Structure 1
Amino acid sequence: MTRGTRDEAGVTAGVREGGGPAVTTAGLPDWLDPVVRAARTVEPRQLSRFLPPEDGRGRQSAVLILFGEGPRGPELLLMERAGTLRSHAGQPSFPGGALDPEDGDPHTIGPLSAALREAEEETGLDPSGVQLFGVLPRLYIPVSEFVVTPVLGWWHTPSPVGVVDPAETARVFTVPVADLTDPGHRVTTVHPRGHLGPGFTVESALVWGFTAGVIDRILHFAGWERPWDRSRQVPLDWHA
């Protein structure tokens, strides 16, 4: 049983009786207030045109959108997927993956547990240093058929992170929010099939696809977005 309030994704935010991850905004730094407000009010269609199929298809998964504070201020934790993986190979992404049965109910605590578990497995992150403070609406990745719950976290006590399994992860890195909002790092990516999407050229990487789309919307609805040249295009590789 879970005590708490229903968020926009339909995930119950609260403390599960008997233990488990909780969602709370208590004690967050003031600079996260715009993200908290956005998470409470944003509608699914405002985040993506790709939403979970109404017939329930898709594999339930979760990602951890982890905000920390580094030498240059607020930052996000990202990882680069190994180039040998079957899906999304070589792409920068949030830590995350499919829900396991032991994570719990996919409609309540499951995505919270999965986001923390996957982050620990992929980056070595210590979950005890993370405060979960919000959940965004579930989104859909058609190419892999994942139904993704984005879970927001505050890295109040940073721990060492790095590649745990080279077969899954090529590298782990943080990106200052200042770089993500810098117009000079913003591009429009062009998929070989003609699809256009937001992109970020940061930390020797091109962040695109689902991850870039979520970051783009967070920056927009948090009021952090700065005007940028959307005509600056970067073509993606043919196998993207």
Structure 2
Amino acid sequence: MQDFPNLPHDFPGENVDLAPDKAPVWMHRLIERIQAGKMRDPLAGAKPIDTSDADKRAAVLMLFAGSETSFDLPNDASVLLTHRSPTMRSHAGQIAFPGGRVDPTDVNAVDCAFREAWEETGLDRRSATPLAQLKEVHIRATGYPVYPILGHWHSPSPVAVASPRETDEVFDAPVYDLIDPANRLMVGWNQWHGPAFRINDYIIWGFTAGLLSTILETAGWATEWDQDRIYDLDNTLTKSRNNENLR
């Protein structure tokens, strides 16, 4: 990773314990439903593989920010996202949560998610609270397990593109933009179809969109949107900023 002097150093091994009791009130219902097992599998149908190979395991950080106001979703609620560089060998051009493979030196999945977020965006892990670890989900194409870590960005710190080889944009996506029915759609490719989002002229789809959609539904933040019409994924991506090729 290139060293950017304006970004903080990481603190490996720190802030790795889940603290659901520190969730802001507007995230309480989400945490309670996750703990009660009321969150559906966002990628149901993916075939799991043996998780004993550490090289095949990964973690992602779903980091939500928003002021403490009431039980209602705050107007400034947002989630941290990245655009993967189109030159990447895998998932090039996709919108993604910060994340990556678990390293042998990572204490746990939380440690991995924070380390990867630092490597990609310069996130100061001390500015966020890990709230919950979701059940592992499996990438549909490979079956590899991914551990989603839900966090609250209680003191948003400066972030930027810290590793141009991996990402070329880092941004906060407003949750109210994501739940706007005008920005939601179903996309399909071959025999697959799933939820997607429009944001900043990008298309969020696949693994990231599945997780986001499930989080919004579980928290009770989602509003009704058209799930009947299925847009061709290839054509939809061609009209976006993703710079992504399915072929």
Q: Normalized against structure 2, the TM-score is what? A: 0.81
> Of residues 226, 232, 235 in structure 1, which corresponds to 2:232?
235
SS of 2:187's equivalent in the other structure is strand
Pairs within 5 Å for 1:115-154:
115-154=113-152
Contact (CA 8 Å) 1:50, 1:141: kept in 2 or not?
no
Size of the alignment, in residue pairs?
217
Structure 1: which amino acid aligns with 2:230? Answer: Q
Query: 2 CA distance for matches of 1:40 and 1:208?
Result: 26
Query: 2 CA distance for matches of 1:19 and 1:226?
Result: 37
Which residues of structure 2 form unaligned runs of 5+? 1-12, 68-73, 235-244
Which residues of structure 1 form unaligned runs of 5+? 1-17, 105-109
SS of 1:227's equivalent in the other structure is coil
Q: Does residue 53 in structure 1 map to residue 56 in structure 2?
A: no
Structure 1 partner of 2:100:
97
Contact (CA 8 Å) 1:200, 1:212: kept in 2 or not?
yes
SS of 2:89's equivalent in the other structure is coil
What does the per-residue CA deviation read over 1:196-238, in whole Å, with 9 as the maximum and x for residues that have no partner?
1000001221000000001111111111111111134332236
Pairs within 5 Å for 1:13-162:
21-42=16-37, 46-50=41-45, 53=48, 55-56=50-51, 59-69=56-66, 72-104=75-107, 110-162=108-160
Q: 1:91 to 1:21 in 2, by over 3 A?
A: same
SS of 1:46's equivalent in the other structure is coil
> Of residues 170, 173, 195 in structure 2, which corresponds to 1:175?
173
Structure 2 partner of 1:9:
none
Q: Compute the displacement of 1:40 (Å).
A: 0.9
Contact (CA 8 Å) 1:79, 1:92: kept in 2 or not?
yes
Q: 1:125 to 1:204 in 2, by over 3 A?
A: same
What does the per-residue CA deviation read over 1:78-132, in whole Å, with 9 as the maximum and x for residues that have no partner?
001010111111000100000000003xxxxx10100000001001111110100
Query: 1 CA distance for matches of 2:187 and 2:41?
Result: 20
Contact (CA 8 Å) 1:51, 1:138: kept in 2 or not?
no
Identity of aligned residues (%): 38
Contact (CA 8 Å) 2:43, 2:139: kept in 1 or not?
no
**Which structure features the higher share of strand residues?**
1
Structure 2: which amino acid aligns with 1:73? Answer: D
Query: 1 CA distance for matches of 2:40 and 2:225?
Result: 23
Query: 1 CA distance for matches of 2:16 and 2:51?
Result: 25
Query: 1 CA distance for matches of 2:182 and 2:15?
Result: 41
Q: 1:19 to 1:162 in 2, by over 3 A?
A: closer
Deviation larger for 230-239 or 144-153: 230-239
Structure 2: which amino acid aligns with 1:235? Answer: D
CA RMSD of aligned residues (A): 2.2
Deviation larger for 211-220 or 24-33: 24-33
Structure 1: which amino acid aligns with 2:158? Answer: P
Structure 1: which amino acid aligns with 2:102? Answer: L
Query: 1 CA distance for matches of 2:218 and 2:39?
Result: 13
Q: Compute the displacement of 1:145 (Å).
A: 4.3
What does the per-residue CA deviation read over 1:153-198, in whole Å, with 9 as the maximum and x for residues that have no partner?
000111111111111101001111111111111000112x231100
Q: Normalized against structure 1, the TM-score is what? A: 0.83
What does the per-residue CA deviation read over 1:9-55, in whole Å, with 9 as the maximum and x for residues that have no partner?
xxxxxxxxx96511112332211112211221236753321456264
